[in-house]
């Protein structure tokens, strides 16, 4: 399944009104970047997917060339959707494995990301991207794509130096420019992506300068862009849940957990992105008391991805780590607690219930209780084996 790109339209209402709303969030970005930096002289250049639309599982339809080819009426037909799903079923596993391999090849090392960009500043950067894109009604998959490419960029320094702070604004704009192009946004009428970029900078950064920086960034990334993100894998894993009554809540909470992970590089890039998405969905299913069969189906799905350890054990570790991160955020033990509160508010608007009333601690306790019997059994077997060995070596025995 190729990375799904939903809600590509630029929100509701005239573009002009949304761009005026964007001006307010632009001031926040400029407040912690150099007021008038010499972007073209930055050191790194010398060497070189408010309102985030929830997923409507019952109204998937093809867009663009597929929609024109197959016909919108057919793509909205339940019978047609089932026939198409059956036709593609044999190819899905192959495509998902290929996406997994590509994601793993390009997954940045988390300690390199942290050394080049502080956790607090990175969280503020992601928050600004979310607010700007939400104002425009763009899909949250684009936020994940921009964040991934920024992490890949800063990781290319190998942790040897920090990202030049005066260049941060133009770097962000260049990465956003690339995301617009790889998402097909450049096909929109009147090149709206250029209009958006100019409003993001209030016209103070020339478009030619953004494009030059984009060229240099692409060189550092070896022109590998448009990669699958954790959200890409989450949407693939949840595609079969469209007939479940509570699927919207499960998917929304899993997306919220992935957004928390995006703020913590050690969690975001410490696991394969496919298993991170599966762990977020598993945590969501556990917190919301989903039927056990849905968890078993999820476990069956992740078996197609290779892992150095047991796929089930890796999934459980991801789930446990994500629940622990959620608890640390609720307790205010992270540097980006203010961003966490804003994410809670966004999820409350999105899913129509209070995320603050959910209990990740209770879910974590249940998870550990499920694992303890196996751990104790292994320990007992180990002790029994040692004791048996000693008895065999003791002549008195």
pLDDT tens-digit series, residues 230-284: 999 999 999 888 788 889 899 999 999 999 999 999 999 999 999 999 999 999 9
pLDDT band for position 219 (50/70/90)?
A: very high
Contact 290, 246 (CB under 8 A): yes
pLDDT band for position 68 (50/70/90)?
A: very low
Q: How far apart are CA 239 and CA 258, in angstroms?
A: 17
Structure tokens at 391: 């008895």
Q: Which residue has the higher pLDDT, 187 or 72?
A: 187
pLDDT digits (tens, 9 = 90+) for 319-336: 999 999 999 999 999 999
Q: How far apart are CA 359 and CA 256, in angstroms?
A: 14
pLDDT at 6: 34
Q: Is 62 helix (H, G, I), strand (E, B) or coil?
A: coil
The DSSP line for 33-57 is S-SS--GGG-GGGTT-----PPP-T
Flag whether pLDDT at 124 surpasses 50.
yes
Report, as an integer, the average pLDDT of 149-157.
Answer: 91
pLDDT at 195: 80
Report, as an integer, the average pLDDT of 46-52.
Answer: 32
Give the sign of the dihedral formed by CA 165, CA 31, CA 14, CA 137: positive
Cβ neighbours for 237, distance < 8 A, ≥ 6 positions apart: 277, 278, 281, 298, 301
What number of CA atoms fall less than 13 Å from residue 101's CA on the CB side?
A: 7
Contact 304, 262 (CB under 8 A): no
Flag whether pLDDT at 153 surpasses 90.
yes
Contact 106, 274 (CB under 8 A): no
Give the sign of the dihedral formed by CA 128, CA 107, CA 99, CA 221: positive
pLDDT at 203: 76
pLDDT band for position 49 (50/70/90)?
A: very low
Instruction: Give the chain's largest Cα–Cα span.
Output: 91
Output the average pLDDT for the chain: 76
pLDDT at 293: 92
Structure tokens at 240: 């079969």
The DSSP line for 356-394 is GGS-HHHHHHHHHHHHHHHHHHHHHHHHHHHHHHHHHH-
Domains of the chain as residue ranges with CATH = 1-228 (no CATH), 230-367 (1.10.472.10)
Above pLDDT 90, what percent of the chain?
Answer: 41
Backbone angles phi, psi at 32, to 5 degrees: -120, 25
pLDDT at 286: 95
pLDDT band for position 37 (50/70/90)?
A: very low
Flag whether pLDDT at 287 surpasses 60.
yes
Give the sign of the dihedral formed by CA 262, CA 329, CA 137, CA 33: negative
Flag whether pLDDT at 185 surpasses 60.
yes
pLDDT band for position 355 (50/70/90)?
A: confident
Q: Which of 33-42, 109-118, 132-141, 225-234 has maximum average pLDDT?
A: 225-234
What angle is formed at CA 315 by the lines to CA 310 and CA 316, rounded to 5 degrees? Answer: 100
Range of lowest pLDDT (121-130, 284-293, 384-393): 384-393
Dihedral in degrees, nearest 10, Cα atoms 215, 217, 218, 219? 90
pLDDT at 373: 58
Give the ranges where 107-246 is alpha helix by DSSP (H): 110-116, 119-135, 141-155, 168-182, 192-200, 207-220, 230-237
pLDDT at 65: 41
Flag whether pLDDT at 223 surpasses 70.
yes
């Amino acid at each position: 399944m190729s990375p799904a790109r939903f809600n590509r339209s630029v929100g509701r209402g005239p573009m002009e009104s949304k761009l005026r709303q964007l001006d307010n969030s632009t001031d926040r970005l400029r407040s912690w970047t150099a007021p008038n930096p010499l972007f073209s002289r930055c050191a790194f250049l010398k060497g070189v997917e408010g309102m985030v639309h929830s997923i409507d599982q019952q109204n998937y339809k093809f867009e663009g060339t597929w929609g024109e080819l197959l016909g919108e009426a057919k793509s909205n037909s339940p019978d047609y959707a089932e026939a198409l799903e059956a036709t593609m079923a044999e190819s899905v596993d192959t495509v998902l494995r290929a996406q997994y391999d590509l994601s793993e090849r390009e997954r940045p090392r988390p300690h390199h990301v942290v050394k080049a960009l502080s956790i607090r500043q990175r969280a503020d950067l992601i928050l600004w991207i979310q607010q700007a894109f939400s104002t425009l009604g763009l899909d949250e998959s684009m936020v994940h794509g921009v964040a991934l490419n920024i992490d890949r960029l800063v990781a290319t320094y190998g942790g040897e130096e920090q990202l030049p702070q005066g260049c941060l604004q133009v770097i962000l704009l260049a990465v956003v420019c690339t995301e617009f192009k790889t998402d097909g946004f450049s096909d929109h009428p009147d090149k709206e992506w250029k209009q958006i970029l100019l409003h993001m900078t209030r016209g103070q950064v020339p478009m030619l300068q953004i494009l030059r920086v984009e060229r240099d960034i692409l060189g550092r990334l070896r022109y590998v862009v448009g990669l699958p993100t954790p959200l890409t894998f989450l949407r693939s894993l949840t595609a079969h849940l469209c007939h479940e009554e509570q699927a919207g809540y499960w998917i929304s909470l899993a997306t919220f957990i992935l957004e928390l992970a995006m703020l913590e590089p050690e969690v975001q890039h410490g696991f394969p992105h496919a298993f991170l998405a599966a762990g977020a969905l598993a945590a969501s299913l556990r917190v919301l008391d989903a039927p056990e069969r849905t968890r078993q189906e999820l476990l069956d799905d992740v078996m197609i991805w290779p892992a150095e350890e047991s796929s089930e054990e890796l999934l459980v570790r991801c789930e446990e780590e994500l629940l622990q991160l959620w608890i640390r955020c609720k307790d205010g033990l992270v540097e980006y607690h203010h961003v966490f509160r804003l994410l809670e508010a966004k999820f409350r608007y999105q899913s129509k219930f209070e995320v603050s009333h959910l209990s990740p601690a209770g879910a974590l306790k249940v998870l550990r209780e499920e694992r303890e019997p196996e751990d104790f059994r292994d320990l007992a077997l180990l002790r029994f084996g040692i004791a048996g060995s000693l008895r065999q070596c003791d002549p008195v025995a």
